[in-house]
Each structure stands twice: as C-alpha cells, then as structure tokens.
Structure 1
C-alpha cells in the first residue's frame, strides 16, 4: 500500500501510479457498472492473464480503490466493487470516456473530408 511518505510529489503522478495501467483502468470501468466476480472480470477483459488480474485486484484493494467481499457460501463467492475512494474516480473515467468519443468522432470527421 502506498503511504504518504512514498507518494510522488506530483498529484498527477500519484493518480498514474494508482490507476495508470491499462488493466486497472478497464477494471475500474467495469466496476463502475456494478460489483463483479473474478471470472466475470477475466472474461470481459480480453487478453488479461489470471496473474495480472489477480495482481491488479490485490494492488487496488491494498490502495483502497476497491473492496473484496467474500460471501459465506459453498463454494465461496467473492465480489469486487469500487470503494468510496474508487467511486470518487468516476468523474475521471467519465471524462476519459467523453474525450475518447470526441477523439474518435474527430477522426471520423477528418477522414470523411479526405
């Protein structure tokens, strides 16, 4: 887990350090919809390995971005969800989504003028 002492000085660098990987961003994107189980996440993230998904979830849980809930059932059911801190990232991902749509749209407009 990151502590105040080992955080970068730059606030943008802090954010990148916490969620800067491609997979973490896509995991958060999914968890913005609803809680997900491990295998659901794995199936929805084309190309992610089990190890990378496990490591990413563990890291985000340690950093307080997601929660991991184990339900006392047989077999045990585990769900991952955004924590309050993770929820506070919603505007960041929403802005990224809107920017991506605008960028894609601008490419479509420029290619139609050629």
Structure 2
C-alpha cells in the first residue's frame, strides 16, 4: 500500500516573504470572513488582474496560508479559505490595520474594509 505522509509546510524565509507580495494581505483579510471564490476577489479588488490574482493565490496555497477546495467538477468551481497558518495571522493583521488608522494611513470607512466592522473582518472578538 502506497501512503503519503502529509506534512505542514515549514515556515521558511520564502514563505514569510510571500506575505510581502502586493495583494497577499488583502486576500488573506478577505478570507477572515469565510471562503471566497476567484471572482469574489476580483469583485472586491477590480484593479487586480486575473493572472496576478492566480499567482498570488497559488503562492499563498503553496506555503500553507490558504487551501483550495474544489466545490464542483462540472463546471470546475473552487473556493479558497484560510488554513491554520493563515488563521494565525489575524491578530497581527488587525494590529497592522489599527496602526495604519491611528497614523492617518486609512480609516474605518475606507475601501479596504468596505464599511465592515474591522474587528469582525479580522475575526477579533470584542
């Protein structure tokens, strides 16, 4: 019997650097409220190209921040959701957002949050 051992991706410098890519934090933030489809991301971020979005999602998946779930095969439909490593970033990303707001780099009402409660957007319980 051929069995494969599934191991967690090791947090390497490459995995850490994946978070510095232009859209990574925005895509992760979007998934704190639940699984998203490819077109959901495009709807929220119309300025991102299909190719860049695809590359960013593949990178986040490769390093274990998110997982791709096939919902249907005909037609092919997939959803992306946070994996354990991605979920562990919620407090850090929330603090980063609050820092930006405190220093005038954004507001609770800007397009980044689309009018949603910031704490809810990051899964932070008040």
For the aligned pair, the TM-score class normalised by the smaller chain equals: 0.7 to 0.9
- What are structure 1's unaligned runs of at least 5 residues? 106-114
The number of aligned residues is 97
Q: Residue 46 of structure 1: CA displacement?
A: 3.0
CA distance in 2, matches of 1:35, 1:62: 17
Correspondence 1:1-114 to 2 at 5 A: 7-8=12-13, 15=16, 17-104=17-104
| C-alpha distance 66-104 of structure 1, shift in aligned 2 (>3 A) | same
TM-score by length of 2: 0.68
Q: Deviations over 1:75-99 (max 9, x none)?
A: 2221000001100011111011111
User: Under a length normalisation based on structure 1, what TM-score does the superposition of the two structures give?
Assistant: 0.75
Larger relative helix fraction:
1
- Cα deviation, residue 42, structure 1: 1.2
Distance in 2 between residues matched to 1:3 and 1:34, nearest whole Å? 24
